[in-house]
Amino acid sequence: MYEKIVDILCSIKEDQPELRQSLSPEMNLNNDIGLDSLQMIQFMLKVEEQLNVVIDYDQFDYEHLQSIHTFIAFLNRCQPQEQPLYEDVKQ
């Protein structure tokens, strides 16, 4: 799952091609990677879509962004999606 998170982060921060080499599981998603609010929304939507999970925003807290590892631990507690997101948009 770590590699998929890295892929998503690099796709969002495509203006920083050196990012992939500097990422580590301990990096803070806000402070170290520097996702702004729009990028954070893009990140969460891509995570849900590409990892096929439903993020429970009632349970989500900024402490889950303290590191990529912490975020992955949170995702492991999320429910899998029963059907793809945005299915109505694709039709």
Q: What is the pLDDT of residues 23-40, one digit of tens each?
A: 999 998 888 888 888 998
Average the pLDDT over 11-31 and give the result. 88
pLDDT tier at 7, thresholds 50, 70, 90? very high
Average the pLDDT over 29-56 and give the result. 89
d(CA 12, CA 16): 9
Average the pLDDT over 9-32 and give the result. 88
Contact status, residue 44 vs residue 55, Cβ threshold 8 Å: yes
Burial class of 51 by CB neighbour count within 10 A (0 to 12, 13 to 18, 19+): middle
* Residue 52 confidence (pLDDT): 87
d(CA 42, CA 26): 21
d(CA 82, CA 67): 27
